[in-house]
Structure 1
Amino acid sequence: MQRSQKIEFLSLCESEEEVAMEAILADYVRSSVRQFMHANAIFHCERLCAEFPSEVNQQLLASCYLQNNQAYCAYHILKGTQMAQSRYLFALSCFKMDLLREAEAALCPANEPSSEVPNGAAGHFLLGLVYRYTDRKISAIHHFKQALSLDPLLWSAYEELCVLGAAEDAAAVFGETAAICIQNQYLHHASVLQNSQAFEEDHSVTSSKDNSADDVSPRQLKQLLSNNVREASGNCQGMAVSARSAVQPPNGGSTHLSLYTTPSPITTQYLCAAPPPLHRNALPNVSNTNSIAADSSPRSTVNSTIQAPRRKFVDEGKLRKISGRLFSDSGPRRSTRLAAEASANTGSNATSTAGNGPNNPSKYLGNSKFSSAALRSVTLRKVSNWTNENFDDGMKNEVIDGCRPIIVSGALPSGDPKALDQETTMLSGVAPNTSKLLSCAGEILGLLRLFGEGYRLSCIYKCQDALEAYSKLPHKHYNTGWVLSQVGKAYFELVDYLEADRAFGLARRVSPYSLEGMDIYSTVLYHLKEDMKLSYLAQELISTDRLAPQSWCAMGNCYSLQKDHETALKNFRRAVQLDSKFAYAHTLCGHEYVALDEFDNGIKSYQTALRIDSRHYKSLYGLGMVYLRQEKFEFAEHHFRLAFHINPCSSIIMSYLGTALHALKRSNEALEMMERAISADRKNPLPMYQKANILVSLECFEKALEVLEELKEYAPRESSIYALMGIIYKRCNMHDKAMLHFGLALDLKPSATDVATIKVTVLPFIMELGTDMKYVLMHVMEI
């Protein structure tokens, strides 16, 4: 052999080993991430980047750091990178670090205003979040709608639209157009996979004719290696296609595929919480049971924080030959063997049945190479079972990879040849019946329509309608933690605290690990003055997750109920420190500042909450109350009216808006607003009492007494009602009834302010009485 040929041969062997080594390391990193061993994944990924420096491997390392909640590491690794997927991961890192301007620049470069947002629907969703938190509502709405148009199952985008008050009816968003979009996406994927498999099997047949396991020309290998980056960055724009790794993973490997699942990019913020629920829209990629899920598209809509696009080193047939001395399985693909052996055994049914029995799976599987262990490693599922009632049974062996697409595992059919044919068809990459697929997509979207309509109505505070929408959900979906928490929030907005307590209590029993809505639940218990339940809830939440703002909000409410406002404020500020974008925590801080008479700090907290969420009406209500106490009635009326436009169904906001109008001497408008508040909630005593006050100021004493007599039925132990009736009787010169109602008011132990008001009102009247009667009454009333 000549010297040049020897050199070329040695360089070829080195290239082969490098390709195999890179594939093994990359596969092992992803395997560690799937098993939540993030430190191990980071260590090996650093080795991968040191040995094979490339931007694609940097993406994988950044993804590991993001999974380990180390966004600052991913930020420095990806700073200055140019690939679309790198820009998306860099923007995600910036968003987690609250560097919103840099995140926007990464997603929409200033020098390329017409460039496409990377990573499809997930990229548009992240950009929408950036615009939302930089107070650009119109742009945020546009990108959330873009995300939904690209991925109709992107529920997080619809949630954000609901929060911004810009969501369309759920029937329009999750309708026929969405179903067709899902069908087209799946068919496109099926076509790509089928073509890829056809090429792969053709090449496998060609290469099997050659007896040499290492017969790859240097020119071919160099050409393949030189196209690595181009293939990774340009393959299948806008669609997620799994790149096939030819190296079999040590644990047998499983196939992953996410066709149109785009989880929220920020769902990995709370890694201490329980894993997210299983996605019904995750479909198995069963064309290669030994391949590793690796997204080769930089514009993929899968969750990029876990699965970065992987470069396609060489095609599967060649890499199998290269790694032949490392792995013993160099024969035909499992799907090919399965189809061949199934067809071979069709003609020998009688013999197989006699040997194995009618219910033995080996009746259709042929020889002993298909052991039970091999069966367990085959990942497949019938398309017809995606939405049936037994879906949960087929998901028992699924692996949850954080927010990553899940592995859908199942057993091979054992008794029906048609079933085996269907599975074999799925293994060969052929798309299922389009009408069946459209029906399945319609079922999923029908469920989302119910969820979406209920959530949309809740966000525009039509809470009674929202409760009716949630009641239409199937029983198994209604009795889940998320839905019951939404029901509790709806009752909270309706000021029905007892029902809210019941709904949240059920949610805690169903999902004791979930913190969804627990900040509102603690406020419900605060209003009910359930100090023991509130204390127990706060301790449970702290023990569940000390780094969740909801836990510290519950603790703050617990101290606030005990009138320890300084300690409560410390807890609320801790919640703000943990999540600066948690608007409700800022509002609760404002309430405590006001309770401590620190009005300036209270106003700052309310305004911060409004910068985070311009529709957070509770902060507008807080500002109105501050200005009302400061007797700045114009400002109070302005903020109460803004809150009323956001939540036109709240009788409390209407009551205080009417009070501000009355203070501005606009009594007719105030009376009209009080009537609306009474109609909105007959059980709320506040608007009826304020209406009586307004009538007294207008000297309509008879009407005021009628209102107060009716009010006594709703609040029979409210001292202020009897005090106001005493004032009315005094002004009508009905002294005996006046003294009777003043005495009743004092017997009900009113607040110190009400006591002072009553005494100031009663004292001049007592001084007009005779000497003996005067001293007796003054002694009884402790004047």
Structure 2
Amino acid sequence: MALSTGHVASQLRHLIYYHLDNNLIRNALFLAGRLLAYEPRSFEAQYLISLCHLHNGEVKAAMECSQNTGSRGLHLGCAYVFAQACLDLGKHLDGITALERSKSTWASKNNWNKHSETSRQHLPDAAAVYCLLGKLWQGHKDLNKAVDCYVDSLKLNPFMWDAFLGLCSTGVNIRVPNIYQLSPELMSIISASPDDLDSVPGVFPPAEGPFPAQATGHLGGDPFMVPAARGDADSTYGSSALWEKFNGSSVSVATVAAPVIHEGMETPSGQSSGSEEFRIANGVTDPDSAWEPPLAPARRNRTIQSMSMDHTGQPLLRCDQLVEPPPAPRFGDRKRTVSGQVAHPIPPQPTEPGAPQRRSVRLFNQIKPTTSKLSTATLTGRDGREVKKVRSAHAKGRPATTSTVGRVVSGNRKHVESADNDGKEPRATSIPSTSSVPPLPRNAERTKELEALNWLLGLFTKLASGYSALSRYKCPEAVQHFNSLSQGQRETPWVLAQLGRAHFEQAMYAEAAQYFSRVQTLAPSRVEDMEIYSTVLWHLKNDVELAYLAHQLLEIDRLSPQAWCAIGNSFSHQRDHDQALKCFKRATMLDPEFAYAFTLQGHEYVANEEYDKALDAYRHGINAENRHYNAWYGLGTVYDRMGKLDFAEQHFRNAASINPTNAVLTCCIGLVLEKMDNSKNALIYYERACSLAPHSVLARFRKARVLMKLRDYKFALAELKVLKDMAPDEANVHYLLGKLYKVLHDKGNAIKHFTAALNLDPKAAQYIKDAMESLDDDDMEDDDMA
């Protein structure tokens, strides 16, 4: 017997997927090599071996195996693996080109709700490809097109969390609740039966864009637009560009790119944006070629096409229908239907009303007496081939009458035969059981699916709202969103880490340490976000905990940049800046895109007064992440120490534009203005900093100092009294109070506070004694004048 080559390849493919699903990557890779040797020209074989290499961490091998087919867009799987490898290797344009060339193979795919414990879709759909395209464009520093792709991905699948994170990282304004709601697309997939998912009209995006124009009204607004009436800093992102994008129209870069650049794109010259126009219709194909033929028999194809329009000529899956799905759709109930007439085309007479959307046997029997024998015979003759496929062997010769349809649906097959033998219509008393009983389990199941989907969308709304607020450094709002989660969802490592970050950004280090400690308790092997925890411990001067954390992270994963950042912070706390620099450099070698390690490296160079190297480190951090405000702050600090106040002010303002709620950045702008002898404007920034952080000692101290420069002693004294209660052990506060009382000729209080400052800071004894001696000199001058 001749060997069946198709069956051999099929068995190998099954074995490869089996080993991949069981995480036996080396076995899968070995079998993929056998399959490629057996079918060297097979695109599927090339895809599988490149996928196995990618799962095994062999990125360059994955790129080599998929390059020939993937770079030309001949196979979707090869193009997707090739693009993923390009993303890891920094060859962003090559990956973008491959995915664009294969667009015809993925533009109309939507695999949402098609994965289960027993079935899977091994090739990506449009949402996954758009998400990868967004990452590639962002890696190429073209944030306009990155936003474009992330939005398209989220519109097709709101649960594409990577796309949402990428969107937040670009700095655009997002109205989260309008993303996570029941859209017509999700409703259409839930409402359709599993057998019809591949070809139900409305599931895939039309030619105008991923959302039909009539659906945008249902969404209730653009999730990427803030009303223009708002007067805060976010109003610059309230352009209607992304609203037009949601409607599928084109918009120029000028309407969107400028606000995004204003937010956080003040980057070094490495950024490039070569697009002349927002490519809004990335997922749009020609209307005639937008639909891929489903992998189903021709009979099913005709069925779905006939159901795409109702008797008025309108699409069957309209928005109003999708919001409230029909109570008993019978599209896929083929197991219990003899002739399949409910889900199949009606007789060719155009005058028969309502037939395409019949939902029950009662409706069917109401229409039946008006139909002629010719139409019944035509229907029976045309569907005779289908009847043979689904009817039992002993019923092959009987014609498919309407009474047969009704009785078979009800499941009473014995009564059907008697009805056929008698040649009579079924009585009305038998109709309720056929029309009401079978749909109940199906309706109940879909109701539960919708309830579960609605719950998930609500959960994602809270998570996304919290993360979006945190990405824009609205920390109290982020904490509020995360705390609104249920206890089970809130007490998870990811949420607790975000709460720790939110408190860290507010300089609430003790609270942040508590959250990160709970993260370690729940997930002892977690390394993500632990670099922030190490900085928190550095600020708290908790040397023992910091050293223990560094040792623990090194044991968990010595190749993680977070571990080396923790070790570097531990050395930095011990004032061993050279060793700290070595650790931070190791972190940047392990992950060249880890911006925080570059920033910490710059801080150590500043501590060593190596300002040129510090500038270089901060610039590398901005190049890795242009919205990393810490690096902009570092540049401002270096220029301030070098005496280049104009450059310092510019970079402090860039940092404050990214994080407008940070009181320290606002104080830095005021400090530079104060050094430039612009005390009035400096006072404005100090007042703003005090409003942002009412408990900030630094902001109030600088405000009191500039008030003394402006000779506004009354308000300066009020600020210093408040400050003394907030920080009673701060020597500088008592020293400034002594100077103020000296100006006010209150010698007793002046000596009191100078003495307190001397006791709190003996190192500054010389300055304080000079101030006290000058106080005595002033008294002598007053006596001479008298």
Please tell me the TM-score bracket, short chain as reference.
0.5 to 0.7
Aligned to 2:150: 144
Give, in angstroms, the shift of residue 497 of structure 1.
0.9
Counterparts of residues 674-685 of structure 1 (less than 5 Å): 674-685=686-697
Aligned to 1:100: 92
Aligned to 1:588: 600
Closer, same or farther: CA 438–108 of 1 in aligned 2, 3 Å: same
Contact 2:75–2:102 (8 Å) recurs in 1: no
Give, in angstroms, the shift of residue 639 of structure 1.
1.6
Residues in 2 aligned to 1:531 and 1:525: alpha-carbon distance in whole angstroms: 7
Aligned to 1:78: 66
Aligned to 1:222: none
Give, in angstroms, the shift of residue 33 of structure 1.
2.3
Identity %: 33
Aligned to 1:172: 178
Q: Which moved more, 1:593-602 or 1:472-481?
A: 593-602
Say which of 20, 25, 43 aligns to 2:30: 43
Closer, same or farther: CA 737–88 of 1 in aligned 2, 3 Å: same
Q: Which moved more, 1:90-99 or 1:114-123?
A: 114-123
Q: State the SS of the aligned residue for 1:560.
A: helix
Q: Which moved more, 1:26-35 or 1:542-551?
A: 26-35
Contact 2:90–2:139 (8 Å) recurs in 1: no
Aligned to 1:66: 54
Counterparts of residues 148-547 of structure 1 (less than 5 Å): 148-177=154-183, 180-186=184-190, 190-192=194-196, 433-547=445-559
Amino acid at match of 1:21: V
Q: State the SS of the aligned residue for 1:108.
A: helix
Question: Could you list the per-position Cα deviations for residues 624-659 of structure 1 after superposition, in whole angstroms to 9, with x for gaps in the alignment?
Answer: 111221222211211222222222211111111111
Give, in angstroms, the shift of residue 155 of structure 1.
1.2
Q: What is the TM-score when the length of structure 1 is the normalising length?
A: 0.63
Contact 2:189–2:197 (8 Å) recurs in 1: no
Closer, same or farther: CA 240–144 of 1 in aligned 2, 3 Å: farther
Residues in 1 aligned to 2:518 and 2:8: alpha-carbon distance in whole angstroms: 52
Say which of 22, 30, 43 aligns to 2:17: 30
Aligned to 1:120: 126
Q: State the SS of the aligned residue for 2:661.
A: coil
Residues in 2 aligned to 1:78 and 1:23: alpha-carbon distance in whole angstroms: 20
Aligned to 1:55: 43
Say which of 82, 98, 101 aligns to 1:90: 82
Q: State the SS of the aligned residue for 1:77.
A: helix
Give, in angstroms, the shift of residue 186 of structure 1.
5.0
Residues in 2 aligned to 1:40 and 1:431: alpha-carbon distance in whole angstroms: 44
Give, in angstroms, the shift of residue 495 of structure 1.
1.2
Amino acid at match of 2:31: H
Closer, same or farther: CA 614–547 of 1 in aligned 2, 3 Å: same
Aligned to 1:645: 657
Contact 1:655–1:687 (8 Å) recurs in 2: yes
Question: Could you list the per-position Cα deviations for residues 94-132 of structure 1 after superposition, in whole angstroms to 9, with x for gaps in the alignment?
Answer: 1111222322222235999x9999841121111111211
Contact 1:190–1:431 (8 Å) recurs in 2: no
Residues in 1 aligned to 2:292 and 2:135: alpha-carbon distance in whole angstroms: 22
Q: Does 1:724 align with 2:716?
A: no
Unaligned runs of 5+ in 2: 110-123, 201-288, 297-333, 335-410, 413-437, 781-786
Closer, same or farther: CA 560–766 of 1 in aligned 2, 3 Å: farther
Residues in 1 aligned to 2:199 and 2:738: alpha-carbon distance in whole angstroms: 88
Contact 1:678–1:688 (8 Å) recurs in 2: yes
Residues in 1 aligned to 2:58 and 2:170: alpha-carbon distance in whole angstroms: 30
Return the structure number with greater relative CO, CA threshold 8 A, min gap 6: 1
Question: Could you list the per-position Cα deviations for residues 547-585 of structure 1 after superposition, in whole angstroms to 9, with x for gaps in the alignment?
Answer: 221111111111111111111111111111111112211
Closer, same or farther: CA 576–185 of 1 in aligned 2, 3 Å: farther
> Aligned-pair RMSD on alpha carbons?
3.7
Aligned to 1:660: 672
Give, in angstroms, the shift of residue 241 of structure 1.
9.7
Q: State the SS of the aligned residue for 1:514.
A: coil
Aligned to 2:329: none
Residues in 1 aligned to 2:293 and 2:647: alpha-carbon distance in whole angstroms: 53
Closer, same or farther: CA 62–767 of 1 in aligned 2, 3 Å: same
Aligned to 1:369: none
Q: State the SS of the aligned residue for 2:589.
A: helix
Residues in 2 aligned to 1:473 and 1:48: alpha-carbon distance in whole angstroms: 49
Contact 1:152–1:181 (8 Å) recurs in 2: no
Closer, same or farther: CA 242–569 of 1 in aligned 2, 3 Å: farther
Residues in 1 aligned to 2:135 and 2:147: alpha-carbon distance in whole angstroms: 9
Contact 1:152–1:182 (8 Å) recurs in 2: no
Give, in angstroms, the shift of residue 698 of structure 1.
2.0
Q: State the SS of the aligned residue for 2:68.
A: coil
Say which of 531, 548, 563 aligns to 2:575: 563
Aligned to 1:709: 721
Closer, same or farther: CA 509–111 of 1 in aligned 2, 3 Å: closer
Residues in 1 aligned to 2:63 and 2:293: alpha-carbon distance in whole angstroms: 24
Give, in angstroms, the shift of residue 682 of structure 1.
2.1
Q: State the SS of the aligned residue for 1:461.
A: coil
Contact 1:534–1:558 (8 Å) recurs in 2: yes
Question: Could you list the per-position Cα deviations for residues 585-632 of structure 1 after superposition, in whole angstroms to 9, with x for gaps in the alignment?
Answer: 121111111111111221222222222322211111111111221222
Question: Could you list the per-position Cα deviations for residues 330-383 of structure 1 after superposition, in whole angstroms to 9, with x for gaps in the alignment?
Answer: xxxxxxxxxxxxx99xxxxxxxxxxxxxxxxxxxxxxxxxxxxxxxxxxxxxxx
Unaligned runs of 5+ in 1: 1-9, 197-235, 244-286, 288-342, 345-420, 771-783
Closer, same or farther: CA 439–683 of 1 in aligned 2, 3 Å: same
Contact 1:65–1:74 (8 Å) recurs in 2: yes
Residues in 2 aligned to 1:189 and 1:617: alpha-carbon distance in whole angstroms: 50
Contact 1:460–1:647 (8 Å) recurs in 2: yes
Contact 1:695–1:701 (8 Å) recurs in 2: yes
Q: State the SS of the aligned residue for 1:468.
A: helix
Question: Could you list the per-position Cα deviations for residues 190-232 of structure 1 after superposition, in whole angstroms to 9, with x for gaps in the alignment?
Answer: 1257999xxxxxxxxxxxxxxxxxxxxxxxxxxxxxxxxxxxx
Contact 2:79–2:102 (8 Å) recurs in 1: no
Q: State the SS of the aligned residue for 2:600.
A: helix
Residues in 1 aligned to 2:456 and 2:291: alpha-carbon distance in whole angstroms: 23
Question: Could you list the per-position Cα deviations for residues 655-706 of structure 1 after superposition, in whole angstroms to 9, with x for gaps in the alignment?
Answer: 1111112122221121121112112222210011111221222233443233
Aligned to 1:575: 587
